Amino acid sequence: MVLFDHDDDKPREECGVFGIYGNHEASLLTALGLHALQHRGQEACGMITFDGKRFPSERHLGMVGEHFGGDLRTRLPGHAAIGHNRYSTQGRTMLRNVQPIFADLAGGGFAVAHNGNLTNSRKLRHDLVKDGAIFQSTMDTEVILHLVARSTGKNFLDRLVDALQKIEGGYALVGLTGKKLIGARDPVGLRPLILGKLGEAYVLASETCALDIIGAEFVREVDNGEIVVISDKGVESYRFAAKRPTSPCVFEYVYFARPDSIMQGRSIYEVRRRMGHQLAAETPAEADVIVPVPDSGVPAALGFSEASGIPFQMGIIRNHYVGRTFIQPTQTGRQSAVSKKHSPNRAVLEGKRVILVDDSIVRGNTSKKIVQMVRDAGAKEIHFRSASPPIVNPDFYGIDMAAKSELFAAIHTHEEMTNELKVDSLGFLSVPGLYKAIGEPERNAMQPQFSDHCFTGDYPTLLVDNEHAESDKERQLSLLDDA
């Protein structure tokens, strides 16, 4: 089993998907694509191919590079493949919960993987089990498979549309049959999915960085509420939901996407640099040096330095050879985890007024340890800056922020956060400032351009499972009162 340091103050990755149709090195190219998307999920990886007759598959706990190498083309032959990097949001980390998953349906084999979270999967699962369905995993992905299998649609596409119209939430889905590679994106467009081309082959992926690594060209983003079907006929497009403005998760810009990726025609790196510009304008401080919390705070710190004129320095060095799977066996070891991953550059910090810039603050645990480390290295003053607004609401779409009680900014006032972090000042980017940095003059309150619920509480879909959970909790409390 792969264990993770749950004191890590970063939002957990969402998962990454990749698919390719029309290249006899499909498995090798999928492995490369998954490698480029490794930042989106590091607990497990899986791949299924189609060789004209069979659907060879491999699923593993751990990183892509640990498992998908060597004689991959022999182990996973075929001209089409789908792959997945996992971070678990629903379903524990165990082999049976690794995607893609596969089933023999009435019309033939079907493999599926998705990035995101369904907000009504528990209700659907309950109804399916009550009706006789047998589940092999605890993943919400398997709900999609059962819905397709039980649909009475005339053909596979009709059955898939029927299934997608029953689910709520945010997702980017890739599927594989004996004749088709399929991609689908949720009606809101919360999770990203792009279409690319490599020679005569077509590619689906979570981010453009996965196209770059295999030398494929970007064609377009899959639209929200759209299904793309790739076969020997080329690419066909269908809608399963009414057309509406896309509203992608703003955390793709804040943290999740790789800096060299492009989303909605925007460079992620440039957006994050502009977040630093805006942060400097909104939360200035007198200091000697700007120091990023590596690695995700680097672009915003550069922007802060450019806008403020205060020198940028690498005052914290990250050890890239301590992976996110580092296991701490004791409480003492867990408390020293930050020193394993980050080391202070005393020559930069000692005697200086330091502005620490990070992309966000979620639980606050790592931020406290980073501040203490910088203080111990001799910093005279520490001013902490977050390049995103305060996270005050949980997420239900695939980010590991589902409990408000764990969110630092939700349970503390600004003064309390400043005291808890033990910093001289604390500043966050504003919601209007975030929109301005992304390239939007202002937020449209009636139809927000991005799903920013973690900051604003405006959820873009029904939260069926959450509402049922709250109802169950209320019923249980009522029973206790009656007793």
Residue 334: what pLDDT?
Answer: 39
Instruction: List the catalytic residue out of 15, 45, 209, 454.
Output: 15
Is 395 annotated as ligand-binding?
Answer: no
Per-residue pLDDT, averaged over 323-330, amounts to 39
CATH architecture of structural domain 16-246: 4-Layer Sandwich (3.60)
Q: What is the mean pLDDT of the chain?
A: 89
Tell me the pLDDT tens digit for each residue of 198-238: 999 999 999 999 999 999 999 999 999 999 999 999 999 99
CATH architecture of structural domain 267-444: 3-Layer(aba) Sandwich (3.40)
Per-residue pLDDT, averaged over 473-482, amounts to 34
Tell me the pLDDT tens digit for each residue of 235-273: 999 999 999 999 999 999 999 999 999 999 999 999 999
- Position 319 confidence tier, pLDDT thresholds 50, 70, 90: confident
Is 232 annotated as ligand-binding?
Answer: no
Domain locations in the chain as residue ranges: 16-246, 267-444
Tell me the pLDDT tens digit for each residue of 78-133: 999 999 998 765 545 678 889 999 999 998 999 999 999 999 999 999 999 999 99
Q: Give yes or no: 454 in active site.
A: no
Residue 436: what pLDDT?
Answer: 98
Residue 185: what pLDDT?
Answer: 98
- Position 344 confidence tier, pLDDT thresholds 50, 70, 90: very high
Do 267-444 and 16-246 fall under one CATH topology? no
Is 358 annotated as ligand-binding?
Answer: yes
Q: What is the pTM of this model?
A: 0.89
Is the pLDDT score of 467 beyond 90?
Answer: no
Per-residue pLDDT, averaged over 424-451, amounts to 96
SS (H, E, C) the chain: CCCCCCCCCCCCCCCEEEEEECCCCHHHHHHHHHHHCHHHCCCEEEEEEECCCCCCEEEEECCHHHHCCCCHHHHCCCCEEEEEEECCCCCCCCHHHCCCEEEEECCEEEEEEEEEEECCHHHHHHHHHHCCCCCCCCCCHHHHHHHHHHCCCCCHHHHHHHHHCCCCEEEEEEEECCCCEEEEECCCCCCCCEEEEECCEEEEECCCHHHHHHCCEEEEECCCCEEEEEECCEEEEEECCCCCCCCCECHHHHHHCCCCCEECCEEHHHHHHHHHHHHHHHCCCCCCEEEECCCCCHHHHHHHHHHHCCCECCCEEECCCCCCCCCCCCHHHHHCHHHHHEEECHHHHCCCEEEEEECCCCCCHHHHHHHHHHHHCCCCEEEEEECCCCCCCCCCCCCCCCCHHHCHHHHCCHHHHHHHHCCCEEEECCHHHHHHHHCCCCCCCCCCCCECHHHHCCCCCCCHHHHHHHHHHHHHHHHHHHC
